[in-house]
Amino acid sequence: MDRFLEIKQNLNQVYERIGAAAMRAGRKSDEVKLVVVSKGQPLEVIQAAIAAGAKIFGENYPEEAIEKIQAVDSADITWHMIGHLQSRKAKLVCDHFDWMQSLDSLHLAEKMERLLAERNQPLPVLLEFNVGGEETKSGWLAGEASNWPQLLPEIRQILEFPHLQVHGLMTMPPLTANRDEARIHFKKMVELQKYLRKQFPQSNWAELSMGTSSDYEAAVEEGATFVRIGTSILGPRPDRPLSQLTKLRQV
């Protein structure tokens, strides 16, 4: 099958499943935004996804993403940083991305606020929380509700930064084929969202980014407003060196 047609078919199927999951939860499908995870994918695949109707792309590695962003060069497409970001690479995100979904520490927030202040430029962000307790995952540890009050001082500082526009929460729970297990973590995020709304009622906690190819329907049913889906739409990532993946041709 032609790659464009394959991606378009996959994209339509994902939208249909998002819509069905939203309906089961008594929600509207347009409450859920789809982030197409394009890390490791070459430009021609991203171009095919754009032609098929994708509008939001998620990337994990700034250096890889920047060449794609510059090649696509479209105001209709938005780029979200969704992976762990080293503070020394914060400038790349501040200069090239439209959203930062994976803000996971006060240290990184301080660095990004300084960079954004120099540019007099705001950046929408989501605060990343680790509700699964995995040591390999980033984010504020939030698996136990008893720990939530300890998070408030740092969150309060971030909310006071004028250039970091907090829009909600993000999580990457443990990877599992059991949707009921994933649902436990999604429910925890919804409870955390409610808690933060109560603690900081003047702030914006509307967005909840959770759910990937294996569990996004459960995430939508539990309240996700962003789902991050890669292989279910774009197919497997090419098993090639990164240098080849980012050798892009101009659009």
Q: Which helix (H) or strand (E) holds 181?
A: helix 179-199
**Residues paired with residue 226 on neighbouring β-strands, in sequence order:** 33, 209
Instruction: Output the pLDDT for position 225.
Output: 99
- The structure tokens 């409450």 sit at 31
Q: Counting beta carbons within 10 angstroms of the beta carbon of residue 31, is it exposed (0 to 12), middle (13 to 18) or buried (19 or more)?
A: middle
**pLDDT mean values, one per 10 residues, the chain (251 residues):** 90 98 97 98 96 98 96 96 97 98 98 98 98 86 96 98 99 80 94 98 98 95 98 86 40 26
Domain-located, residue 251 = no
- Does a structural domain hold residue 250? no
Domain total for the chain? Answer: 1
Q: Are 226 and 234 in contact (CB under 8 A)?
A: no
Give a yes or no: residue 202 inside a domain: yes
85 backbone dihedrals φ, ψ, rounded to 5°: -115, 125
The answer to whether position 137 is within a domain reads: yes
**Distances 110 to 59, 161, 205 between C-alpha atoms, Å:** 22, 8, 20
Please report, in angstroms and rounded to a whole number, the separation of the first and last CA atoms in the chain.
Answer: 23
Question: What is the phi/psi pair of residue 33, to 5°?
Answer: -105, 135
Q: What is the pLDDT of residue 240?
A: 54
pLDDT of 151: 98
Say if 199 falls within a structural domain.
yes
Domain of 124? Answer: 3-245
Q: What pLDDT does residue 244 have?
A: 43
pLDDT in tens, 53-79: 999 999 999 999 999 999 999 999 999
Neighbours of 16 (CB within 10 A): 11
**CATH number of residue 241's parent domain:** 3.20.20.10
pTM across the whole model: 0.92
